[in-house]
Structure 1
């Protein structure tokens, strides 16, 4: 892949920053933000091939069309953190609550997987790509 011009690099970096902002905004609007760790993990960086938007692996579970499907228990520490971040009432013991939530996820997946709304990443990206392509086309004319 050829190296990007400074102007193209800036357009792409701005595009990724806008996508990042919209992903976080949609996450907040849907009420699927607990500790903020997933939002805080999103970063736009420059590599030799151009800008990149990266984040923690659990962003994949927040997307509208996926969520986390059944199969395998999630890491207990993540569930424990989520319980405290969400302020969930513990009626028995913490260990029992973590186990019950983990078992439910292992058996049926997360709410997003079962149809609750998630971050519409495809729509966000498409919307911003259309805007960026117009800026690039105007610059090339």
Structure 2
């Protein structure tokens, strides 16, 4: 892994921690699966921060899995209150179908956009630029020292 990838991995880990902190601060944790499954993947040439889904919402299109919604209903305590009126499986399917058709947007603070701001991205760019400039300067100075006229 290059020095740049290591620096980016460090910054992405910091972003991940900031996202989890904000996630808990705005109290949207239900099962905790989102926070616990955030992952930073670093390779030789790139670094990626990814999670199982966006806590900020979902665009219309493909229907999410009913099983995930069924688990969410149980984790949230909604399932036990509705069992006499509708089965949990049926309710989860109906919710998944509606999300697939219309999408879903979280009300309140958009988590990712509140942490991954243009200012935060600029901070990362500044750190990387400074580090790259230092490396470049050191390389040039070494070159001049070894090829002195």
Same fold (TM over 0.5): yes
Matched, 1:33 2:29: yes
Tell me the TM-score normalized by structure 1: 0.71
Q: Which runs of 5+ in 1 are unaligned?
A: none
Secondary structure at the counterpart of residue 104 of structure 2: coil
Q: CA deviation at 1:82?
A: 0.7
Query: Match for residue 133 of structure 1?
Result: 125
Q: Is the 8 A contact 2:61 2:101 kept in 1?
A: yes
Query: Match for residue 96 of structure 1?
Result: 90
Q: Which runs of 5+ in 2 are unaligned?
A: 135-149
Asked which structure has the greater RCO (Cα within 8 Å, sep 6+), the reply is: 1
Q: Distance in 1 between matches of 2:26 and 2:11?
A: 23
Structure 2 counterparts to residues 1-141 of structure 1, below 5 A: 4=2, 6=3, 8-56=4-52, 58-59=53-54, 62-63=55-56, 67-88=57-78, 89-91=81-83, 92=85, 93-112=87-106, 115-121=107-113, 124-139=116-131, 140-141=133-134
Q: Distance in 2 between matches of 1:28 and 1:17?
A: 17
Q: Which has the higher helix share?
A: 2
Higher-Rg structure is 2
Q: Distance in 1 between matches of 2:48 and 2:63?
A: 31
Question: How many residues end up aligned between the 2 structures?
Answer: 129
Runs (4 or more) in structure 1 with deviation over 6 Å come to none
Q: Is the 8 A contact 1:35 1:85 kept in 2?
A: yes
CA distance 1:138–1:27, shift in 2 (3 Å): same
CA distance 1:126–1:14, shift in 2 (3 Å): farther
Q: Is the 8 A contact 2:40 2:49 kept in 1?
A: yes
Q: Distance in 1 between matches of 2:30 and 2:38?
A: 15
